[in-house]
Amino acid sequence: MSTTIRFFLPCLLLLSLYAISVGQTPTPPTAAAATMNNAVESLKKGNWQEADRSFDLVLQIAPNYAPAYVGKLCVVFQVKEEKDLANIEDEIGEHVLFKKAIDNAAPTYKEQVQNYAIRKGPPQPKDDNTGKRMELNINDVEYAFRWCPAGTFQMGSPRDEAGRNENETLHRVTLSKGYWMLETPVTQMMWVSVMGNNPSGFKGDLLKLPVETVSWNDCQEYIKKLNDLKVAPAGFKFSLPTEAQWEYACRAGTTTAYSFGDTLTQQQANFRGNQTNEVGKYPANAWGLKDMHGNVWEWCQDVYGDYPSGAVTDPVGSPSGSYRVRRGGGWNGNAGFCRSADRGNGGPSCRSGLLGIRISLVSQ
């Protein structure tokens, strides 16, 4: 059963049918209230014919009343209780009644369903290698990567998340292939050993400070040179992560505003500061990735654009546009910019002491 259906149907049933009996929203039109109550009671008792007849009467009065479509869907599959929905097959997602229920749900009602899904969250990836560490020696510099498994997650943020922006539309994303993500942002030593220069404004220990003042174009040249060295594991190549890969790795199975919960402290990340800090100084997330929140903004491969409204697989960003995505927040901003779902963007030639890079190894 798909993740969307598994979360959407129980919530839809819970909100639209059983909630009526305790006076919660959504409620049917006044003229149909008694009939709807009768339909719900008949459904609970397994009186399928009476329940179906009653839902039909409700729809005659209120043709766009979404809960009645859900009721008829439950009759078709003879579902009386929320727990029974877990055993229903994927065919429900293609059923005309299911689609009508979604199409006719009020906007605020859809938000309730979305917020339920994001809080409940998708199942954790079933991959014994999740978070596994791999080390590569490139030009005498150690690179440590963490394994991010294939999986499905809710990308974006619910409308009640503090600091949320309108460009964070909640939608389901499936990543069909696992990938390796660099454990920390690229350090100045990593950059210098490949590029032969250090553009960073904040100088110090090359092994520990993140490289910054790098543009998206600069990052593409760095990645090209890495791939030219032929040091990537067989079947993989170096790349910037897509925006979806970045957020998936940042969340590491969480559904909260940050990978550490719904709040972020300066003991967990470098923000509201004066400059970059050493990489790896702060706690790692559940998959062993460090500095996903704060320190430097990290370029992603994607062209920046609006999210899709529906589920997608292996998204690669907008097909057109002039700006590129950057993620994670930086050392000088507030915690809101460091949220897992927060989106930044900039021109591909833009350089700033706030802009760094984290690379990934993706399937060729």
C-alpha closest to that of 17 among 47, 48, 46, 38 = 38
pLDDT, mean of residues 304-317: 92
Residue 170: its pLDDT value, please?
Answer: 87
Say what the pLDDT of residue 331 is.
Answer: 98
Provide φ and ψ at 245, rounded to 5°. -60, -40
Which DSSP helix (H) or strand (E) runs through 18? none
CA distance 78 to 348: 55
> What dihedral do alpha carbons 311, 317, 320, 324 form, nearest 10°?
150
Q: What is the pLDDT of residues 31-40, one digit of tens each?
A: 788 888 888 8
pLDDT at 130 exceeding the cut of 90:
yes
Whole-number pLDDT of residue 96: 72
d(CA 361, CA 344): 23
Q: CB neighbours (10 Å) of residue 127?
A: 14
Where exactly does CATH 3.90.1580.10 map onto the chain? 133-363
Report cis status (omega within 30 of 0) of the bond before 26. yes
**Distance of alpha carbon 323 from alpha carbon 305, whole angstroms:** 8
User: Can you tell me whether residue 334 is helix, strand or coil?
Assistant: coil
Which of 61, 59, 98 lies closest to 79 in space, CA to CA?
98
Q: Is the pLDDT of residue 286 over 50?
A: yes
Cβ–Cβ under 8 Å, residues 104 and 66: yes
Q: How confident is the model at residue 103 (pLDDT cuts 50, 70, 90)?
A: confident
Cβ atoms of residues 169 and 267 within 8 Å? no
Q: Which of 202, 244, 188 shows the shortest CA–CA distance to 360?
A: 244
* Pairwise pLDDT comparison (269 vs 29), residue with the higher score: 269
Question: Whole-model pTM?
Answer: 0.71
Q: What is the mean pLDDT of the chain?
A: 85
* CA distance linking residue 198 with residue 211, whole number of Å: 8
Fold of 133-363: paralog of FGE (formylglycine-generating enzyme) (3.90.1580)
Query: For residue 46, what are the CA distances in angstroms to 40, 41, 65, 81?
Result: 10, 9, 22, 10
Q: Are 220 and 238 in contact (CB under 8 A)?
A: no
pLDDT tops 80 at residue 83: no
Residue 356: Cβ-neighbour burial (10 angstroms; 0-12, 13-18, 19+) = buried
Residue 23 tokens read as 């006076």
State the CB neighbour count (10 A cutoff) for residue 301: 21
Residue 243 DSSP symbol = H
Q: How many CA atoms lie within 13 A of 78 on its CB side?
A: 4
pLDDT tens-place string over residues 136-145: 999 999 999 9
